[in-house]
Amino acid sequence: MNIKKLEEHALHIRQNIVEMVYAAGSGHIGGSLSAADIASYLYFEAMNIDESNVDSNKRDRFVLSKGHASPLLYGTLMEKGLLDRALIPQFRQVDSPLEGHPSRGTLAGIDASTGSLGQGISQAVGMALANKIDGNSNTVYSLVGDGESQEGQVWEAAMSAAHFELNNLIVFLDFNQLQIDGDIKQVMNPIPLDEKFKAFGWNVIEIDGHNFEEIDQAVKAAHQSESKPTLILARTIKGKGVSFMENEAGWHGVAPSLEQFEAAMKELV
C-alpha cells in the first residue's frame, strides 16, 4: 500500500467534489468530503475495478447507500479514469448523466441507483447474497451514513446480512455525526451504532476514517471473517479537507460561493 499515492487520490477526489458542487450551485458537499479517504482506499487499493472489467459481474461492487453524496462517487470515478472530468460542469444539470443521486445504467461503474436512504445497503445485501448463490468470490462494499442509520430499512438489511452469513459484505459507516438538521444525537439518536450492529450479528471494527493504515487493517480483518458481514465504523470529519467546512452541519447540502470556492481550492493542494 502506497499511502502517499492514496493521499494524492483523496486530494484529487476532494477537488473534484468541490468543483462539481460549485459548478452546479447545489449538492451535498460535507458528507462527500468526509468519505474521500475511504473511497480512495477502496478504488485504488481494495477493489478489483478498472476499465477492463468495469462491465463484468465478476468484479467487486460498491454501493453508495448515502446516495446524496454522489459527488464523492463521481469524483472517485473521475480520478480512477472511468469518468471524464469534462463532465464536471454537467453535475445536476437537466439531461446530464451526473444526476443528483447515482442512477445505475447511466454511467459505467455505477452499481446501484440510490438516494432513498436505507435502500442502498439493502441492495448491497442482495448483491452479496447473489454472489454467494452464484459462487462469485468478489466482495460487495457499501458506504452508509450515520444519519441514514436512523432509517428502519438499514436494520432490516443488517438482520438479513447476518442471517445469510454474508462475510463477502463490508459496510463502511461514515460516522461524522452531523446531518442536515444538525447533530445526529439531537435529531434522532442512533448511537451506539457499534453495539447495535454487534447485536444484529455483525463483525464490527472501529477506525479513524482518515487513517489509511487503519482502513487497510480493518478491510484485511474483514476478509478474515468466516461467517459474519463486517461493519467498519469510520470516525470522520464532515467537510474534511476544507477548514471552514469541517464539522459544520451547515455544509451538508449547500454550494460554496465563488469566494468560498476559491478559498477551498487553495486549501486542497
For residue 210, give its domain range: 3-267
Percent of the chain surpassing pLDDT 90: 98
Residue 55's Cβ-side half-sphere holds a number of Cα atoms within 13 Å equal to: 4
Among 137, 136, 196, 202, which Cα is nearest to 163's?
202
pLDDT digits (tens, 9 = 90+) for 183-237: 999 999 999 999 999 999 999 999 999 999 999 999 999 999 999 999 999 999 9
Q: Quick one: average pLDDT of 127-149?
A: 97
Say whether pTM exceeds 0.85. Answer: yes
pLDDT at 57 (0 to 100): 87
Sign of torsion over alpha carbons 152, 154, 155, 161: positive
Give the CATH number, domain containing residue 203.
3.40.50.970
Number of domain units in the chain: 1
Q: Distance between CA atoms of 91 and 237, rounded to whole angstroms?
A: 24
Q: What tens digit of pLDDT does each residue of 28-51 get?
A: 999 999 999 999 999 999 999 999
Q: What is the pLDDT of residues 152-186, one digit of tens each?
A: 999 999 999 999 999 999 999 999 999 999 999 99
Contacts of 186 (CB under 8 A, 6+ apart): none
Instruction: Judge whether 80 and 43 are in contact, CB under 8 Å.
Output: yes
Tell me if 35 sits within 8 A of 44, measured CB to CB: no
Characterize 70-89 residue by residue with b for buried, 16 or more Cβ atoms within 10 angstroms of its Cβ, and e for exposed.
bbbbbbbbbbbebbebebbe
